[in-house]
Amino acid sequence: MGDYTITFARSARKELEALDAAVVSRIFPKIEALAREPRPRGCRKLSGEENLWRIRVGSYRVVYAISDQDQTIDIVAVRHRSRAYQ
């Protein structure tokens, strides 16, 4: 079993681009690590959602979907925790 492929929803890419460079430098390695370990320690499955998970990076949340059969991870949102679940 190899690494997963990471894709970004257009909205998630825009959210990431809008963040401060220092924040992005903390978040991006965590996103890249999902390719090797899609369900790292501390990740949570979002209740009420079919296949959405989230990881915490400081006060930011990365929301993503995992497809084990396609071996892909789709980053859905990268938001501050105050707006992450809206």
85 within domain boundaries: no
| Residue 21 lies inside a defined structural domain of this protein | yes
Structural domains of the chain, count? 1
Query: Tens of pLDDT along 62-82?
Result: 999 999 999 999 999 999 988
**Cα separation of 48 and 29, whole Å?**
28
Within a domain: 12? yes
* C-alpha to C-alpha distance for 22 and 57, rounded to whole angstroms: 12
Assess if residue 38 is contained within a domain.
yes
Q: Is residue 34 part of a domain?
A: yes
Q: What is the pLDDT of residues 8-59, one digit of tens each?
A: 999 999 999 999 999 999 999 999 999 999 999 999 999 988 899 999 999 9
Q: What's the CATH code of the domain at 22?
A: 3.30.2310.20
Q: Which two tokens stand for residue 72?
A: 């892909």
Backbone φ and ψ of 3, nearest 5°: -70, 155
Domain limits at 9? 5-80
